[in-house]
Amino acid sequence: MNSIFILSFTRKGYDLAKRIEDILERDFELNVRAYRVSNLKEFMQSNFGKGSAFIFVGAAGIAVRAISPFIQAKTKDPAVIVIDEMGQYVIPILSGHIGGANRLANKIAELTGAIPVITTATDINGVFSIDVFASERGYSIVNPSEIKYVSSSLLEGKEVGLFSDFEIDGCLPNNVVLKKSGGVGICISDKYQNIFDKTLHLKPKQFHIGVGTRKNIPFEVFESLILETLNRESISIEGVRTVSSIDLKKSEQAIIKFTSSYGIEFITYSAGELSKFDDRFAQSKFVKDTTGVGNVCETSAYISSRKGEIILGKTAQYGVTMAIAKESWRVSFENIYDRT
């Protein structure tokens, strides 16, 4: 979760919104802000694309009408939650799994004493949810239309196959079996492989891009360079987990727009954090004089990838420096039923 908007429409609702804001900021260090909204249509037009979660304090019908013009797809929509003004019930109504609405609703309920009302079939039946697994573990869902076949098979107690190019940790969920063919299954791979009759393809987000830019670099220049470089390295944008840089660039609009457009996390590090790895990467006197550290792109990619492998060293073009690191990957099924 990044930015969370809490919307209210009455004095009583705003009091509850502020209480939730205080709780979430204190306990989870989230970027949360409560509003008392007078023009909901205008507010949603201005902010829907900026938030990872929207919490409506009021009637569910208000929330449904407010979000309906902006809904796109389950892999893109933010979490949307409704809470009544009395704070009795917390109800996720959109993006319960991938967007994390169910998880956030349970957190709010636990902290406020409200009752979470979860309606997604896999949750209420205690069945493994493949879209929650993908979201929490850092996978791109290449063909989300196939989720329904996996979920419905598991709900009916039928066997679902699993093929993985990566080593597996933990016990497989009930009715998930390692296979290389069959009716319905999951393929975890860098490459699309039509293993099963109905194959849900999960691509690990294991690539991390480190960047440095001149100030106010045009978005089109930045985007074009990143995409061209990824294409040259045979890396799909769906496999990119983070773009990172020094904290001096935290407000650089080209980076912010790029990461927001492609659903990639933007991370920044202080000069002190980056300088811990000065002995690992070549240092630039010019960069050090400008930023306080001699290497930004390679170092930030390295840190974000959890000290992974640098597969593309520092390259510079059009006022942008970039490097790419690859995170080592294992498929982990540990604690898959722990949603608290």
Q: Which residues of 189-201 are buried (b: 16+ CB within 10 A; e: fewer)?
A: bbeeeebbebbbb
Asked if 133 and 176 count as a contact pair (C-beta separation under 8 A), the reply is no
Q: Report the pLDDT value the prediction gives residue 26, as an integer from 0 to 100.
A: 81
Does the pLDDT at position 287 exceed 80? Answer: yes
Read off the tokens for 334.
Answer: 């540990």
Q: Report the pLDDT value the prediction gives residue 335, as an integer from 0 to 100.
A: 74
Q: Report the pLDDT value the prediction gives residue 227, as an integer from 0 to 100.
A: 96
| Average pLDDT over the chain, rounded to an integer | 92
Does the pLDDT at position 43 exceed 50? Answer: yes
Does the pLDDT at position 338 exceed 60? Answer: no
Query: What ranges make up the beta strands (E) of 86-190?
Result: 89-94, 115-116, 139-141, 160-164, 168-169, 176-178, 184-188
For residue range 52-80, what is the model confidence (pLDDT) as tens digits?
A: 899 999 999 999 999 999 998 888 899 99
User: Measured between alpha carbons, how far is 258 from 266 in angstroms, rounded to an integer?
Assistant: 9
Q: Report the pLDDT value the prediction gives residue 193, as an integer from 0 to 100.
A: 85
User: Measured between alpha carbons, how far is 190 from 216 in angstroms, rounded to an integer?
Assistant: 34
Domains along the sequence of the chain with CATH: 3-119 (3.40.50.11220), 130-204 (3.40.1390.40), 207-326 (3.30.420.180)
Q: Report the pLDDT value the prediction gives residue 291, as an integer from 0 to 100.
A: 85
Question: Does 339 or 77 have the greater pLDDT score?
Answer: 77
Per-residue pLDDT averaged across 150-172, rounded? 95
pLDDT band at 156 (very low <50, low <70, confident <90, very high): very high
Element (H, E) at 212: strand 207-213
Asked if 194 and 181 count as a contact pair (C-beta separation under 8 A), the reply is no
Does the pLDDT at position 339 exceed 50? Answer: no
pLDDT band at 2 (very low <50, low <70, confident <90, very high): low
Lowest-confidence pick of 15-29, 58-72, 94-108, 133-147? 15-29
For residue range 173-198, what is the model confidence (pLDDT) as tens digits?
A: 999 999 999 999 999 998 888 999 99
User: Measured between alpha carbons, how far is 72 from 84 in angstroms, rounded to an integer?
Assistant: 26
Question: Does 293 or 303 have the greater pLDDT score?
Answer: 303
Does the pLDDT at position 29 exceed 80? Answer: no
Q: What angle do CA 287, 322, 143 make, to 5 degrees?
A: 155
- Sheet with 176-178, strands from edge to edge, namely 139-141, 198-204, 184-188, 160-164, 176-178
Question: Does 339 or 129 have the greater pLDDT score?
Answer: 129
Tell which residue, 105, 107, 137, 132, has the closest CA to residue 118.
105
Q: Report the pLDDT value the prediction gives residue 110, as an integer from 0 to 100.
A: 92
Three-state SS at 57:
strand
Tell which residue, 269, 294, 300, 264, has the closest CA to residue 282.
294
Per-residue pLDDT averaged across 120-126, rounded? 89
Bridge partners, residue 203, by sequence: 140
Q: Report the pLDDT value the prediction gives residue 292, as an integer from 0 to 100.
A: 85
Give the list of residues 6+ apart from residue 5 with CB closer than 8 angstroms, or none.
33, 35, 47, 51, 53, 54, 55
User: Measured between alpha carbons, how far is 317 from 331 in angstroms, rounded to an integer?
Assistant: 36
User: Measured between alpha carbons, how far is 144 from 233 in angstroms, rounded to an integer?
Assistant: 25
For residue range 236-273, what is the model confidence (pLDDT) as tens digits?
A: 999 999 999 999 999 999 999 999 888 899 999 999 99
pTM: 0.78
Does the pLDDT at position 340 exceed 70? Answer: no
Per-residue pLDDT averaged across 3-24, rounded? 94
